[in-house]
């Protein structure tokens, strides 16, 4: 009963934090990251563990909770992948994306090899990808919040999509190469749209339902959910079948904001003893994990934006470099995926989540909450509005 009470309380705290954050002009994911990285560890240390006598392992042990986690994870990963697959390449976005991905990725690999304890090569690869990733939905929402020019918004969002597609695909291929036999079921599941077409079933909702259902199954049974998700959506794109949300957009947004994201954040954080995790990192390692991802990403963004040229007259290269450094939802899902598969340590998980919070707060801290131009944004937006 106390476990259920804890989770009800945690979801309520996230709802309150989201409401309070809006009063101060923060988008929901920033408020939720603040609560997860600061509030939850304090709550666990000072109240839940000593007062309720509950450990993180006990809080995540119920089967019903693990099933709910699988549903939430599939919902968020499915929304991110659906945005990533929706890529419309243009030369300017490629010019920005190349250094914006390559420089932080190389910096992350170097950090993993030379500054962190010895770990498997796929864990080092994952650290490099975490240095390079950009949060598509959070970036879009921030650009919409400050009424950024439409053409510039499209260019930055397409750049983020290209970077994230590269990150997710590289990791999926690397992970699949370790266990070739485990690729068969995900790849077979990814061909479901082709089977439905052969059977004459072309309803978009049926294809979408199969996508989310099989994504839950893949996550629950520790199959390669990335290979399945990317392959399935590529099949849908080839067949020109649109991804239709199973619920109205406003309900999907609320489901993500008030249940899925808080549950995933809490599920990850409560497993970590923050004090012992931080003790396992030296000050030099912690400083590197907080500063190097941001610095290398800003450098890559700066070089890419200089190569591509200004998106509109009066555009600030520095401003756009900071905007493309936004992390958030994409990084959270990636971090949880790595933690659940024990590819990163709890200390690395918490340090990179803290880095993501700082990077996501940077635009507001740099005074970028003000509107640069009062130009309408494009009507179409990414589906993952968190």
Residue 163's pLDDT is 92
Q: Which residue would you say has higher pLDDT here, 324 or 364?
A: 324
Q: Please, which pLDDT band fits residue 290 given cuts at 50, 70 and 90?
A: very high
Cβ-contact 18, 28 below 8 angstroms: yes
Least confident of 14-18, 42-46, 248-252, 333-337: 248-252
Distances (CA, A) of 386 to 18, 30, 189, 327: 11, 10, 28, 12
Residue 379's pLDDT is 36
What are the backbone dihedrals phi and psi of residue 339, each rounded to the nearest 5 degrees, phi first? Answer: -65, -45
Least confident of 107-111, 148-152, 245-249: 245-249
Cβ-contact 324, 160 below 8 angstroms: yes
Looking at every residue in the chain, the average pLDDT score rounds to: 86
Residue 373's pLDDT is 37
Residue 40's pLDDT is 92
Residue 375's pLDDT is 33
Q: Which residue would you say has higher pLDDT here, 262 or 87?
A: 262
Residue 386's pLDDT is 43
Taking residues 55-79, report their average pLDDT: 88
Q: Kindly report, residue by residue over 175-228, the tens digit of the pLDDT.
A: 877 776 667 788 889 999 999 999 988 888 899 899 999 988 888 887 788 888
Answer yes or no: is pLDDT of 343 > 50. Answer: yes
Cβ-contact 231, 187 below 8 angstroms: yes
Q: Which residue would you say has higher pLDDT here, 114 or 141?
A: 114
> What DSSP letter does each residue of 179-218 carry, written as one string?
-GGGGHHHHHHHTHHHHHHHTT---HHHHHHHHHHHHHHH
Q: Kindly report, residue by residue over 292-315, the tens digit of the pLDDT.
A: 999 999 999 999 999 998 888 777
Q: Kindly report, residue by residue over 366-378, the tens digit of the pLDDT.
A: 665 544 433 333 3
Answer yes or no: is pLDDT of 134 > 60. Answer: yes
Residue 328's pLDDT is 78
Residue 186's pLDDT is 86
pTM for the model: 0.84
Residue 376's pLDDT is 34
Structural domains in the chain, sorted by start: 64-365 (1.20.1530.10)
Residue 122's pLDDT is 93
Residue 367's pLDDT is 61
Handedness of CA 20, 25, 29, 31 (dihedral sign): negative
Percent of the chain with pLDDT over 90: 35
List all residues 6 or more positions away from 236 whose beta carbon is below 8 Å from its beta carbon. 193, 207, 211, 242, 243
List all residues 6 or more positions away from 179 whose beta carbon is below 8 Å from its beta carbon. 224
Residue 266's pLDDT is 93
Least confident of 156-160, 220-224, 325-329, 372-376: 372-376
Residue 181's pLDDT is 62
Least confident of 89-93, 144-148, 265-269: 144-148
Residue 2's pLDDT is 87
DSSP state of 86: -
Taking residues 266-277, report their average pLDDT: 84
List all residues 6 or more positions away from 119 whose beta carbon is below 8 Å from its beta carbon. 112
Q: Kindly report, residue by residue over 116-126, the tens digit of the pLDDT.
A: 988 999 999 99
Residues 303 and 321: their CA atoms lie apart, in Å, by 9
Residues 15 and 296: their CA atoms lie apart, in Å, by 34
Residue 378's pLDDT is 34
Residue 371's pLDDT is 43
Residue 246's pLDDT is 75
Cβ-contact 331, 352 below 8 angstroms: yes
Helix extents (H) in the chain: 2-23, 28-34, 40-43, 56-59, 63-85, 91-114, 121-132, 136-145, 150-178, 184-190, 192-198, 204-220, 225-238, 249-255, 261-269, 274-279, 283-308, 317-323, 329-340, 346-365
Rg (CA), the chain: 20
């Amino acid at each position: 009963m106390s476990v259920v009470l804890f989770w009800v309380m945690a979801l309520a705290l996230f709802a309150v934090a989201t409401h309070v954050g809006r009063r101060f002009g923060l988008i929901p994911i920033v408020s939720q990251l603040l609560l997860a990285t600061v509030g939850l560890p304090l709550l666990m240390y000072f109240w839940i563990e000593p007062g309720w006598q509950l450990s993180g392992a006990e809080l995540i042990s119920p089967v019903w909770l693990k099933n709910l986690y699988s549903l939430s994870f599939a919902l968020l990963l499915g929304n991110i992948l659906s945005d990533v697959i929706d890529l419309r390449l243009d030369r300017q976005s490629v010019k920005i994306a190349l250094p914006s991905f390559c420089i932080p990725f190389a910096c992350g690999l170097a950090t993993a090899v030379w500054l962190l304890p010895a770990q498997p090569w796929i864990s080092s690869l994952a650290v490099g990808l975490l240095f390079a990733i950009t949060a598509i939905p959070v970036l879009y929402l921030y650009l919409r919040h400050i009424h950024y020019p439409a053409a510039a918004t499209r260019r930055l969002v397409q750049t983020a999509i290209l970077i994230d597609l590269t990150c997710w695909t590289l990791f999926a291929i690397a992970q699949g190469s370790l266990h070739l036999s485990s690729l068969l079921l995900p790849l077979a599941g990814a061909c479901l749209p082709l089977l439905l077409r052969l059977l004459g079933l072309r309803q978009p909702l049926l294809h979408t339902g199969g996508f989310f259902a099989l994504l839950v199954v893949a996550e629950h049974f520790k199959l390669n959910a990335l290979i399945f998700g990317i392959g399935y959506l590529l099949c849908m794109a080839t067949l020109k079948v649109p991804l239709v949300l199973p619920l109205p957009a406003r309900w999907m947004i609320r489901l993500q904001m008030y249940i899925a994201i808080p549950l995933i954040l809490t599920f990850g954080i409560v497993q970590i003893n923050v004090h012992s995790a931080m003790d396992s990192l030296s000050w030099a390692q912690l400083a590197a994990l907080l500063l190097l991802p941001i610095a290398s990403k800003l450098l890559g963004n700066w070089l890419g934006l200089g190569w591509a040229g200004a998106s509109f007259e009066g555009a600030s290269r520095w401003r756009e470099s900071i905007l493309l450094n936004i992390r958030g939802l994409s990084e959270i899902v990636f971090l949880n995926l790595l933690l659940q598969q024990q590819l990163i340590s709890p200390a690395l998980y918490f340090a990179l989540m803290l880095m993501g919070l700082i990077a996501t707060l940077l635009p507001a801290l740099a005074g970028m909450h003000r509107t640069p131009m009062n130009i309408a944004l494009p009507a179409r937006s990414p589906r993952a509005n968190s």
